[in-house]
Every structure is written in C-alpha cells, then in structure tokens.
Structure 1
Amino acid sequence: MKKPSAFLVTLYLPLWLLVPPLILVWFPFYVYRCLVKLIALLLRPDLTNMLTPGDAIFSYDRIHTCPASTVVGHLELEGEVDPDHIRETLKTQVLSLRSENGALVYPELGSRIKYFFGFSFWAKATTMQDPVRTIKEVMTHDELLNFKAQLVHQPYKQNGALWELLLVRRKNNSDEPPTTVVLIRFQHTLVDGVGSFHLLNKMVQPQNVQLTKEISKKPGNISPIWYLGMPYDFVETCRETSRSGCLAKDGKHWIPLSNNFLPSEAASRYTFHISEPIAFSRIRQLGAQHGVTGTAVMHSAILGAVRTSLCPKGETSFITVETPLVPPWKRDRLLGNHITHGKYLAPIGELDVVKRLILTHEGLTAMKESTYSFTTAVLSNAIGTLPRPILNQIRYRNDSYRKIFVGNVPGPGEETNFCGYVAKDMSLIYGFCVVWEVLGVGFITYGDNLRIGVFGNKNLLPRSGQAEEIASSFMRELDDLQFVENMHNT
C-alpha cells in the first residue's frame, strides 16, 4: 500500500462518525460482561479471574474435546537427561516462583478454564498430575512427527491444566545414541510465541545468564496524525487484500473434518515439515546486499517457494500475507496473547526474484507504517469481550485459503540450554492449520540458525512431501538471489 497523501486521509475522516454507533452497540455487552464478573466475584470464589479479551479469543472452541488452538514446541537436548532434574527445575524456577508480594508469577500454569454465564474464567486446576511426563518408547523421526501431529490435537483433561511437558527418546543413525526431545504442549490461551520463549529463558541454568533479547514494549513517539489515518488504512488494506488470489482453485471436493474429530483423524489431515537449520547470517547478508530487511528476504523467498509448489503456471499474481507485529502498547502480562497482526498484498506471481524482493520489502514497510494492525487489534479485543456463544459463531471465513499466515518467532539471540543441557533444533507446530484451510509458515530463529516450518491441511497440500518441497524451494530462492547478486558484481 502506497503512503497516502494528507488529502486522501482527510477524505476518510468522516468514517470516524461511525465509531459512536458501534460503541453504543458494543456497550450493552460490555456492561453484561462487567455484571457477570461482579457476580462471579461474589458467588463463585473458585473462579480466580476472567480471561482478558485477547486470551478469550482462543478459548471459545471445545478445548476439552478437540482443541484447535494448541501449540507444541520441540527442543532437542544433547546427552543423557535426568527427568527428576528437569522436574525440579520446572517447579522451583517456574511453577513455584513468587513475586515480592508473595503471589505466584505464573498462576495460569496451575489453572484451567471454566465457563460462567457465557464467559471464560481462570479456575484452579483440580486434577493435578506430574508436570513432566516421560514416553518410554524410543521413536524414529517419522514416528515422532506422527506423535506430534496427534499431540497437537489431544484433548485436555476436563479439570487439568492446559499444558504439559513430555520427554521423548528419538532414534538417530545406527551409530549414534538416541537423543532426548522435549515437547511442550500448551493451549494458545495461556501463552503466545513471545511468552513461550520467555518461559524457555526461565529454564536456563544458571539463572544469572540473560540470553534473550528484550522486545520493545513501546513504539516510540507516534504522532496523533498517525491515529487519524486509521479509517483510510483499514479501508485501503481491506480493498487491496480483496484482490488476493487463491492458493487452491477448487474447494468443492475437499474432505472436511467432522465436528468431533479424533486426534488421529486430525493428524491424518495434517501435513507439515520442519527444515534443517539454516545460517541466519546468510539472510542478513542477502538483505544487506539488496538493501532490504532480512524479514523481506524470508517472506519473498517463501512466496517464490509456495508459487513453485502450488501455482507452477503462475495463475495467482497476488496473495494476502498475514503476519504478527509487536503492538504499540506495553506488554502487561508475561504470558498471554499480546501480538497484533498485519496484512499486505504480496507479489506471489512475480518471477523476477529481485523485483519480487523489492515489492515484498515495500509491502512490509507499508504494513508496519499502517494503522491497520492497531485497528484490527482494537476490534479483536472488542470482539473478545463478547459472550462465548457469540464468539463461537464468529468463524474464520471459508476462503481462508486466500492467504498465507507467516509467523516470525524470534528465539534467543545465542544458543542456550534447558536445565543445563545443551539445547538445539527448536521448532513449533500449530493446530489451527488442520481445522481451517490456512497455509502456515513459521520462521523460528535460535542463535544464528533459522528453521522453516510449513504447515497445512491436506486439502491445500494434497501431495505427499509437498510441505518439504516448499521448504526446499525456499533454499533455491535464496540461491537465486545469491546468484543474481554475484552476476551483478561480476
């Protein structure tokens, strides 16, 4: 989206007149929410607190029957691992950690979700279990992939906490001993990607080592004029993304999931691949050579990879890319969900790798300067205050296959450890991709390594090995950028 002129922004200012009527429609629901919260405070001492609107967005589905908003983190450890040591570290450094006033720092980890008068509340988990579970069977690489695919859709216990930590032994080559893989499963209501790495940092030993980067909590000085452009940015972004093409041309014969799908059924419809580590220094180098950001390099390369796999004839010229952004407000809870989302129209059909890179960089820059993500965050939080039965009716549009969801997850800036054990090969997989026809791509940085995760429903990625094919094509896109630059220099 091009930078608007002051004249165009002024033309959209009358749209602010729609705000008072929208507030009047929303206000009765907010009053009802406050009333329910007061009643719970007086009559239901077992309910500790009402979920924030940002967290409630992820709690409307059937968490205890077929969760769709589960995330599974993967971390491989070197050497022999003592489960009791991990269990004790988790207890002392996370679960029992208290603030100066004696309150638990992470009370959500010992909580479940209960519904009261249509709203989600935190309540103390009554089904207590060992926080560290060891899987006795030694798994091959393929067996571990299938296990994670089922784990991401495993129902949570009715009265238990919405997370668990599992230790799995993985077979490697015949001449290598098995390694231990840590799987951390959590419901998205509890924590987002930033929060998950915050918890990882709490498990580092010794604790006086600080390895993670501080994420900016404030956007700096933003002119009031920036906010005045909200109507223009919102309408223009919606107008541009309406031009988006489809990742798949025909959805009539797609196989839908039943309303009460089993974890094995979901796993059979889920396809994903996590790439081998890639030196992130190469991404930085290509960005510097072409005068763009490393994010633009990654987004442009994945666009080319997806086009090669899904649109080899170039039928689709543009696709909508949705990606997380750091919001312009302070993070008020260490865990929880605080990330906003921006959108831009990406040139997936552009064959010239350099031209596509420049256009992608321009799209990302315009997206970050736009108020669209701020506006949608306000709308999302307003929707999150609605009762759960209403939230349950607000679904992703059926044409979700018109976009690619790209998540940039910044891990620790240096290689770290987990309870003192050397940690490597970090990744995340998400459950929502199998329920909604969304192609998801995750960029996970850890130390100086980048790993690419490609996730999707088999309706979108029907061929065997297609997710791996996209990850491999990403590397070829980087090679093409490097080749073009080398040709230019010679």
Structure 2
Amino acid sequence: MVTRTRRSAAPATPSAQAQPAPAARAARAVRKNVRRAASGMLGLSGERMSKVDTAWLRMDSDSNLMMINGVWTLAPGITWEALCERVQQRLLQYPRFHQRVVEDAAGATWVEDQRFDIAAHVVRERLPRRKGLSPQQALQERVGELAMRPLDARRPLWQIHLVEDFTGDDGQRGSALIVRIHHCIADGIALISVTMSLVDGGSEPPKRSRKAPASAEDWIADALIRPLAGITTKALDLAGDSAARSLHLLREPEKVLEHGLAGSVDAARVAYQLLSDAAALALMPDDSPTRLKGKPGRAKRVAWCPPIPLDEVKAIGRALNCSVNDVLLACVAGALGSYLRQHGDDPADKEIRAMIPVNLRPLEEAWKLGNRFGLVPLVLPIGLANPIERVYEVRRRMTALKGSTQPLLAFAMLAVAGLLVKPAQDALLNLFGRKTTAVMTNVPGPGEALTLCGARVTQCMFWVPQSGDIGLGVSILSYGGGVQFGVITDTQLCPEPQQIIDAFTPEFAQLSLLTLMLPWGSE
C-alpha cells in the first residue's frame, strides 16, 4: 500500500500568484486527465479485464469474429416471455452478462450497463421459408449469417435468438435457440457452467465478494503475476508432482540447495521441457497444402450431424485400448481426408494441424468465467486410410503431448498479446494462424437430457471461433448419452461443410465394424 505524507504548503511565490487564469485552468485539466487515465488503467471505475480476455476481445477480424456460437433445439416450444424471465432470473446472476466493455489504451474494463435492455439481448427470430429449404437447413444458414454479424459493442457482448416455431428434421415441433457469446466473456468449459444454471433445476452461481479498489501494485499482482503463476502450477501438475515442485524451485532458486540434487534435476528437467516446447511452437512446420487452407473470405456456414451413442464410442475405445478422445479425433481426421478425396485431392502423405484447447483450471471454478485454457497443436493423420491405424496414430501423438508445457506457453503468449497494441498482437498470434488449418475442441456436456422452461433440450451444438486466416472449426460435444460432431467453415475455402459432416458417420461406422472383426486383445 502506497502512503503519502502531507507536506506543509509552501508560501506562494510572486510568479505563482501572477499565473494567468488560462494557464491554471490548463494545468488543472492536465491533472484531471492524468487521474482519469490512471483510474482507467487500474480498473478503479470498474473491473479490469484480464490480459488473456483482452487478447480475445481484440482478436476480431474481417474474416473471423471471436464469438462462440451455439444452437439448442427444444420440444415442445417455449415463449419469448418465458425465456426472458429465465434469463433475468439466472443468467444475469453472472455480472459479465450485464456489463459492457470499455476499451482504453491500456486494455479494457468491465462496467455496468446502466441502460441494460433484455429485449436487446433476447430477440425473436424468424427463419426464411424458401422452396427446397428445410427448417434445419434454414437454421444452419441463419447460424452462419449470425457468426459474421458483430455484437453491439455498446452493450454486453452476448445475444440469444429465439425461433419460437421450429420443426426439426425429426418432425418434432418446438423452438430453437441461437446463442452468441463473445469469447472474452468465457471459454467453452465455463459456458457449460452457465448452461447448467440456466436450465430447469439449475443452481445459481456462487456469490463473488466485491473487492475494494486496488492500488497500482495490487492490480499488477492480481491481474498479471498471481493468475499466471497459479495457472502455471496447475498446468505443470498435469505432468506430475515432480514438475510442480520443480516450478517452485525455478521461482525460488535459493531453495534448490535445500532440496538437494533431486530438486536440481527436477528443475533442470522442467526448464528443458519449457525450452523444448517453446522451440517446438516457434518452429512448427507449415501444414500440408490443401483446399481447406488459404485466405478466408467474409461468409460462414455451419453443419452438424445427429448424435452418435456415446456407449458405442466407449466400447471402441476399450477394445482398442484408446480414449474416447482418440477415437473421435481419428474419425474427424478420416472425415477430412474423405472430403478431400471427394473433391479430387489426394490426402496420402498429407497432414494438417489442429489447435486443441486444454483446460487449465479446476472445474469447480468454471463459474468465475473468463478464459483459462492453453492450446496444443495436434497434427491430424488425414492421409491414413485404415481407420484402426489412424486411431493408433492419433493415440501415439496425443500421448506424446501429455506432460507438455505447450498449453501453458500458449496461455502465456495470449497474456503477452493482451499487453500489446492490436497490430503487434495480430503479428504475434499469426504464428498460430500460418501453421494451422483448423481449431478443434471437445467439450464434455451434461450426461442427462436437460429441460428449459419445461421443454426438453433435444439437441445442442456449438462452434468454436477461428482466428487469423484459419477457416475451419471443428466441435465435438457429448450430451445426454450421445456425441455430436459439428463444423463451421469459411465459404471461400469450404462452401459445403455438410459434406464433411456426411463423411463423419460412415467413418465411425467403418471403424466400429473393423473393431468388431479384430481378435480380442490384439493391437
């Protein structure tokens, strides 16, 4: 805490007494502006946005908006009035959903929206009715259009569009929700927590204690140093207790002597791992050239498939001694390879890189929102035609990434990017865009079917945003005993994402059949 001592006023000098009024007013104005700038920089007039969230806020581009887009279908339908009431009761318990963002030279601040209007955020939507266009296709087209419509920066950065009268491909009449939330508010894991408070029977989020205005030193510690140190520890915990201990040794080298040679070896091992992973990120080779890689335009399309039974995916994983994630990622790689072959490209000997988010916080703290994840680059073996061989290759590559500090380094890079001016931030983050074809995420959703305002949530899907020149987003979501696969694409690079979706189910079916034909216990 910085304290100031009051000095006795010095006698006025003749020059001070003779200071002209305009000069005095100018001096007062300068002092006022300096105080105002300092207040804004330190977040004293609101809650300061973290540097990682600031990076996501400023990552919007003409080709990619940093919004998480989602769709829920409900049966039977719900009314706009009922949805507004539920949002006011539950969603607005999270401060971020009634706060707008004010940017300044040093970053951004969350401030209360004094003119908050629920009708501006929960809006009625009417899908176009065109000959040959099913309601499902109309919904997909509308999601693609909204994915490229910026949110109103004068208001909290989220919207829910309600289609009150919607009929799905299964013939069920009901409603559909299109949800748009800017990534600076939260990541996918945190939004699952939001979802669970919004549905019937959901609990309100824990109450957060309000902090007193912080000094400059407190703000720097709280906003920059402590969160990064804490998340670093959690990330290295994934690699084992010795890695976590070594982190503390690296931060406090004088304790190496107390821990002896073993501590020194652990510290050296983690230091080597950090340097190796940093070099791997910096020196990533370019992806294989495919039609999915290039300069994106300004239009998006989305598609998703019907749910696949999660028990079937688990059974394949057990039979092949692989994780559910290995199985699903192998099917994604197969679907992308099949799509390329369908369009005359030979994917043999080709590989594409997908950036995969890795959660860096305890799930019980997801209600705090914000972004607490890193990224790891997974090279997808799209050129392997044999589904079994592809699963084992994905497993091998995923195993090699375990214990990596790359998620931590990616998180740190985002934190640094949030400290820079936007052109410098863009230049830094283009490292990922140039070397990556897709962003891919796998989020575990609720295991049981949910209800909202008395209506059953029959289907839910979401799409991750892409940054820079990345034109392909792949999402995998488990919900209610099923797993869904969805893609969002830039129309200039992939005009018909449904063709990728249509290849996913046959890839899974082929893998399932071949797994049944294998002798037990073999690999």
TM-score, normalising length: structure 2? 0.72
In structure 2, what is the equivalent of residue 132 of structure 1?
Answer: 122
Deviations along 1:186-209, whole A, 9 cap, x unmatched?
111112111221111001222369
- 1:429 touches 1:453 (CA, 8 Å); kept in 2? yes
User: What's the C-alpha RMSD, in Å, of the aligned pairs?
Assistant: 3.3
SS of the residue 1:412 aligns to: coil
1:235 aligns to 2:279 (yes or no): yes
Note closer, same or farther for the CA distance 1:40–1:181 as it changes in structure 2 (3 Å cut): same
1:55 aligns to 2:16 (yes or no): no
- 1:204 touches 1:420 (CA, 8 Å); kept in 2? no
- 1:71 touches 1:188 (CA, 8 Å); kept in 2? yes
SS of the residue 1:391 aligns to: helix
1:471 aligns to 2:505 (yes or no): no
How many angstroms does 1:471 deviate by? 1.8
SS of the residue 2:152 aligns to: coil
In structure 2, what is the equivalent of residue 429 of structure 1?
Answer: 463
SS of the residue 1:123 aligns to: strand
* Distance in 2 separating the partners of 1:343 and 1:37: 42
- 1:247 touches 1:401 (CA, 8 Å); kept in 2? no
- 1:296 touches 1:361 (CA, 8 Å); kept in 2? yes
Q: What letter is aligned with 1:469?
A: Q
Note closer, same or farther for the CA distance 1:328–1:231 as it changes in structure 2 (3 Å cut): farther
How many angstroms does 1:59 deviate by? 1.3
Q: What letter is aligned with 1:200?
A: T
Q: What letter is aligned with 2:399?
A: T
Q: Percent sequence identity over matched residues?
A: 18
In structure 2, what is the equivalent of residue 317 of structure 1?
Answer: 350
SS of the residue 2:167 aligns to: coil
Note closer, same or farther for the CA distance 1:430–1:380 as it changes in structure 2 (3 Å cut): closer
In structure 2, what is the equivalent of residue 382 of structure 1?
Answer: 416
The range that moved more, 51-60 or 328-337, is: 328-337
* Distance in 1 separating the partners of 2:417 and 2:281: 20
Q: What letter is aligned with 2:473?
A: G
* Distance in 2 separating the partners of 1:364 and 1:247: 23
In structure 1, what is the equivalent of residue 394 of structure 2?
Answer: 360
* Distance in 2 separating the partners of 1:132 and 1:88: 10
In structure 2, what is the equivalent of residue 12 of structure 1?
Answer: none
Q: Which runs of 5+ in 1 are unaligned?
A: 1-34, 98-105, 211-216, 258-265
How many angstroms does 1:337 deviate by? 0.9
Note closer, same or farther for the CA distance 1:289–1:60 as it changes in structure 2 (3 Å cut): same
- 2:381 touches 2:390 (CA, 8 Å); kept in 1? yes
The range that moved more, 353-362 or 471-480, is: 471-480
1:87 aligns to 2:84 (yes or no): yes
SS of the residue 1:484 aligns to: helix
User: 5 Å matches for 1:271-290?
Assistant: 271-290=301-320
* Distance in 2 separating the partners of 1:338 and 1:415: 27
Aligned length: 421
User: 5 Å matches for 1:251-290?
Assistant: 251=294, 257=297, 266=298, 269-290=299-320
Note closer, same or farther for the CA distance 1:43–1:479 as it changes in structure 2 (3 Å cut): closer
Q: Which runs of 5+ in 2 are unaligned?
A: 1-33, 130-134, 206-233, 247-265
Deviations along 1:331-352, whole A, 9 cap, x unmatched?
5762111111111333221222
- 2:475 touches 2:486 (CA, 8 Å); kept in 1? yes
Q: What letter is aligned with 2:508?
A: L
In structure 2, what is the equivalent of residue 407 of structure 1?
Answer: 441
- 2:166 touches 2:175 (CA, 8 Å); kept in 1? no
* Distance in 1 separating the partners of 2:169 and 2:51: 50
In structure 2, what is the equivalent of residue 103 of structure 1?
Answer: none
* Distance in 1 separating the partners of 2:391 and 2:362: 30
Note closer, same or farther for the CA distance 1:411–1:42 as it changes in structure 2 (3 Å cut): closer
* Distance in 2 separating the partners of 1:385 and 1:332: 24
Deviations along 1:66-101, whole A, 9 cap, x unmatched?
971112211111114133222222212231x3xxxx
Note closer, same or farther for the CA distance 1:410–1:38 as it changes in structure 2 (3 Å cut): farther
In structure 1, what is the equivalent of residue 69 of structure 2?
Answer: 72
SS of the residue 2:347 aligns to: coil
